[in-house]
């Protein structure tokens, strides 16, 4: 498995918005190799001037694991190039086949460089906010193995963060509504994320420590979607509302919307 060559394939696919074949159909590769490809593709983004802003957890809910046909948690890296302002209009043309999903975001008050436990979380997390993630697999038809999606930085491609408030740990039963235009496409609960999205932070610390990745101070941690993701098309207004946390949203612009 050539790590650099495969990182280049995936980075180019994202940059040129051209889907590629699954790497796993051509080579067998391990989870460690998949994370090495991911790290190499992030290096390419950083070389182009992007700054690492945090991490995202994936497949922390059954809803997501079932939708995508995978069986384990994953993590990927977020950069400022993926940041989208809350309430803004974004061009859908910058993606291949974007899907949106509701997320809960945590913001670190201290760097996390080791596995932490539930009693320590409040020393490392200062704030939380409602969020939306835009995922855009670089693989054709949004189909992948666990190794493929890790190599592809867990489909990361955009994130929108709502107003932040003080971190609280009792967020295990928050109602989540995911709207596209006037349709309530999914109704969920924060319980779906490992019983409590705070548990996702513990796994984030464990998994990143395993790969010697330090989550910086002031960084974002997306806990993972509580509901399945939905395709977004030009003209759509996407809104997520989370009990006690509030609303976050964006509008999808692009060629079709302008017709």
Which residues contact ligand OOG (rule: CB under 6 A)? 56, 58-59, 64, 68, 101, 133, 135, 137, 149, 154-155, 224-225
Least distance from ligand OOG to the Cβ atom of residue 156, Å = 7
Asked if residues 253 and 91 have their Cβ atoms less than 8 Å apart, the reply is yes
Residue of the chain from 6, 29, 76, 133 that contacts Mg ion (CB under 5 A):
133
Least distance from ligand OOG to the Cβ atom of residue 15, Å = 18
Least distance from ligand OOG to the Cβ atom of residue 17, Å = 16
Structure tokens at 103: 């997320």
Residue 45 binding: pick among ligand OOG, Mg ion, none (C-beta 5-8 Å cut-off by kind): none
> By Cβ distance, which residue is nearest to ligand OOG?
58
- With 0-12 CB in 10 A as exposed, 13-18 as middle and 19+ as buried, what is 51? exposed
Measured CA to CA, the distance from residue 179 to residue 240 in angstroms comes to 6
Residue 64 binding: pick among ligand OOG, Mg ion, none (C-beta 5-8 Å cut-off by kind): ligand OOG
Residue of the chain from 70, 73, 160, 225 that contacts Mg ion (CB under 5 A):
225
Q: Which is nearer to ligand OOG, 100 or 121 (CB)?
A: 100
Q: Which is nearer to ligand OOG, 185 or 257 (CB)?
A: 185
DSSP one-letter string for 134-173: EE--SBGGG---HHHHHHTGGGEEEEEE---EE--S--TT
Asked if residues 119 and 40 have their Cβ atoms less than 8 Å apart, the reply is no
Applying CB under 5 A, the residues found at the interface with Mg ion are: 133, 225
């Amino acid at each position: 498995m050539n790590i650099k060559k495969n990182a280049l394939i995936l980075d180019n696919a994202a940059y040129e918005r051209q889907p590629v074949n699954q790497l796993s159909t051509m080579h067998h590769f391990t989870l460690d190799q998949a994370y090495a490809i991911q790290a190499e593709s992030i290096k390419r983004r950083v070389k182009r001037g992007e700054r690492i802003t945090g991490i995202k957890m994936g497949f922390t809910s059954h809803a997501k694991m079932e939708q995508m046909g995978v069986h384990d948690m994953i993590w990927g890296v977020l950069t400022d190039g993926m940041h989208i302002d809350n309430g803004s209009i974004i061009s859908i043309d910058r993606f291949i086949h974007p899907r949106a999903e509701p997320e809960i975001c945590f913001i670190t008050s201290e760097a996390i460089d080791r596995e932490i436990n539930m009693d320590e979380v409040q020393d490392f997390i200062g704030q939380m906010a409602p969020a939306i993630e835009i995922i855009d697999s670089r693989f054709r038809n949004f189909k992948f193995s666990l190794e493929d999606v890790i190599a592809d930085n867990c489909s990361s491609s955009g994130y929108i963060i709502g107003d932040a408030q003080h971190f609280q740990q009792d967020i295990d039963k928050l109602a989540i509504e995911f709207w596209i235009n006037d349709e309530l496409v999914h109704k969920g609960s924060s319980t779906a994320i490992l019983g409590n999205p705070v548990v996702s932070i513990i796994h984030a610390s464990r998994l990143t420590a395993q790969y010697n990745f330090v989550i910086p101070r002031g960084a974002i941690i997306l806990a993972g979607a509580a509901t399945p993701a939905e395709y977004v098309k030009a003209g759509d207004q996407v809104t997520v509302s989370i009990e006690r946390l509030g609303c976050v949203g964006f509008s999808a612009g692009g060629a079709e919307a302008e017709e």
